Amino acid sequence: MSFKSLKQLTAGIHACNDALRDGREIERLFIRKGNHGPGIEEIITRAKERRIPFSFVPNEKLDRLTNVNHQGVVALHALISYEELEDIIPFVYERGASPLVIVLDRITDVRNFGAIVRTAESLGAHAVLIPEKGSAQITTEAIKTSAGAIGRLPICRTPDLDRSLRYLQQTGLHLVAATEKAEHTVFQAGLSGPLAILMGSEEDGVSEELLTLCDAKLKIPMKGSTGSLNVSVALGIFLYEAVRQRAAV
């Protein structure tokens, strides 16, 4: 899909600085390699203050993003407003419910991301948590694949996934990871209480660093010769088991 078709770009030093100063939602900034000067430095400073990811890219990439005079900087605007995890969890508890959060590690395919959010929303999850870097961008393709669920389920973004996982544990959530390395299956675990389910990419799985934080590592029993499931399908099995156990309590 072409970024140009989104019509959600701001190009130019002054325009990007204004967008940052006005608090507009920005997904990512693209800055030409070697581009310096007060205006660019101000953009970088504001991006860091607002925890907005930015990348230094060749001028040719900026030319592909937009046909206007971009002056070496382009802002890609978010198609949604991200929500704060620290607002979601207390709100769920105040309603007398047990939080159910989906955490994604290195899920970069936009269609997988859309399918995950669709599954999560349909089975009653309260939020999806993603890292600022190394995650799929929310594009119109992701929104279409989610059947609109991206607009209905809170999406939270964090600059430090490790710290956010610790926050979930501190607020009472049981953190489980889906991994083929596990000894126990998802059907052998207690999933009826406050829960965060950590899913990794099909290629790399959950990172070792994050696995060490988890309260439990679980797998889906496989009978055939296929080694793994699509991540959205795997999440559906985990979520369905959690929902089944919650209904029995």
How many angstroms separate the CA atoms of 174 and 190, rounded? Answer: 9
CA distance 164 to 161: 5
Extract the tokens encoding 49.
Answer: 């203050």
Of the candidates 154, 86, 71, 97, the residue with the CA atom closest to the CA atom of residue 120:
154
In DSSP notation, 79-117 reads: SS--B-HHHHHHHHHHTT---EEEEEES---HHHHHHHH
> How many other C-beta atoms are found inside a 10 Å radius of the C-beta of residue 207?
17
CA–CA–CA angle 12, 16, 66 (5° rounding): 45
Report the chain's terminal Cα–Cα distance, integer Å.
45
Q: Hunting for tokens 């870097």 — which residue is that? A: 133
d(CA 98, CA 181): 28
Please give the average per-residue pLDDT across 34-45, as a whole number.
Answer: 91
pLDDT at 186 over 90: yes
Q: Which residue has the higher pLDDT, 236 or 24?
A: 236
What pLDDT is recorded for position 249? 66
pLDDT digits (tens, 9 = 90+) for 66-100: 888 999 999 988 788 889 999 999 999 999 999 99
Residue 7 has pLDDT above 80, yes or no: no
φ and ψ at 201, to 5 degrees?
Answer: -70, 160
- Structural contact between residues 104 and 115, judged by C-beta atoms closer than 8 angstroms: no
* Overall average pLDDT of the 176-190 stretch: 95
Instruction: Let me know: does 45 contact 89? Beta carbons within 8 Å.
Output: no
CATH of 3-77, one of 3.90.550.10, 3.30.710.10, 3.40.190.10, 3.30.1330.30: 3.30.1330.30
The 10s digit of each residue's pLDDT in 113-135 is: 999 999 999 999 999 999 988 89
Provide mean pLDDT across the span 128-148: 89
Q: Domain residue spans in the chain?
A: 3-77, 85-248
pTM of the model: 0.78
Strand partners, 238: none
Q: What does the alpha-carbon distance between residue 249 and residue 247 come to, in Å, rounded to a whole number?
A: 6
CA 154 remoteness from chain centre? 10
Q: Is the pLDDT of residue 5 over 80?
A: no
**85-248, superfamily in CATH?**
SPOUT methyltransferase, trefoil knot domain (3.40.1280.10)
> For 2-11, 84-93, 165-174, which range has the lowest pLDDT when averaged over its residues?
2-11
Residue 154 has pLDDT above 50, yes or no: yes
**Cβ-based neighbours of 33, under 8 Å, separated by 6 or more:** 56, 57, 58, 59
